[in-house]
Amino acid sequence: MTALNRLSVRARITIGTLLLAAVFFGSVSLLVRQQVDQIVKNAAFEVLQDDAVPFETAIQQEPNEPADNPGEGQLVAVIDPAGTTKTSTLPASITSNMALIDLADTGPQQVSAGGATYMVAVETVQTRAGNWTIISARNQNESALVLTDLTAGLTLGLGALTLLFGAVSWHLIGAALRPVTQLRRSAEAIVASGTEELLPVGPAKDEITDLARTLNRLIDDLRASASRERQLVSDASHELRTPLAVLQAQLELLRAGDRSSIDSDIAGAERATTRLTELVESLLELSRLDAGRPPTPTTVGALVDEAGEAIDRARLRAMSDDVEIDLIVPDRAEHEAPVAMPALLYGRVLDNLLSNALRALDGKGQITAAIRWDPPNLTTIVADNGPGIDPEFLPHAFDRFSQADKVRGTADGSGLGLAIVAAAAASVNGTVTLENAADSGLIVRLTIPVLQLDVR
What is the model's pLDDT at position 327?
94
Mean pLDDT computed over 346-370: 90
pLDDT digits (tens, 9 = 90+) for 84-109: 888 888 888 888 878 788 888 888 88
What is the model's pLDDT at position 93?
82
- The fold for domain 298-449 equals Heat Shock Protein 90 (3.30.565)
Other C-beta atoms lying within 10 Å of the C-beta of residue 317: 15
What is the model's pLDDT at position 411?
45
What is the model's pLDDT at position 225?
74
What is the model's pLDDT at position 434?
93
pLDDT digits (tens, 9 = 90+) for 164-218: 888 888 888 888 778 888 888 888 887 777 777 787 887 777 777 888 888 888 8
What is the model's pLDDT at position 447?
94
- 3 state SS for 51-98: HHHHHHHHHHHCCCCCCCCCCCCCEEEEECCCCCEEEECCCHHHHCCH
CA dist 218 and 224 (Å) reads 10
What is the model's pLDDT at position 454?
46
CA dist 60 and 172 (Å) reads 70
Taking the domains of the chain in order of start, what are their residue ranges? 9-146, 207-290, 298-449
Mean pLDDT computed over 265-269: 66
CATH code given to domain 9-146: 3.30.450
CA dist 298 and 295 (Å) reads 9
Least confident of 271-280, 316-325, 392-401, 438-447: 271-280
What is the model's pLDDT at position 269?
67
- Report CA-CA distances (Å) from 186 to 208, 212, 220: 14, 11, 15
DSSP bridge partners of 400: none
What is the model's pLDDT at position 83?
82
**What is the model's pTM?**
0.49
- The fold for domain 207-290 equals Helix Hairpins (1.10.287)
pLDDT digits (tens, 9 = 90+) for 112-135: 887 788 888 988 888 887 888 888
Going by C-alpha positions, the residue among 159, 150, 156, 153 that lies closest to residue 22 is 159
Pairwise pLDDT comparison (115 vs 401), residue with the higher score: 115
- Segment of 49-53, 58-62, 397-401 carrying the highest mean pLDDT: 49-53
- Report CA-CA distances (Å) from 43 to 37, 108, 137, 232: 10, 11, 13, 90
Average pLDDT, the chain: 80
DSSP 436: E
What is the model's pLDDT at position 308?
92
Pairwise pLDDT comparison (434 vs 3), residue with the higher score: 434
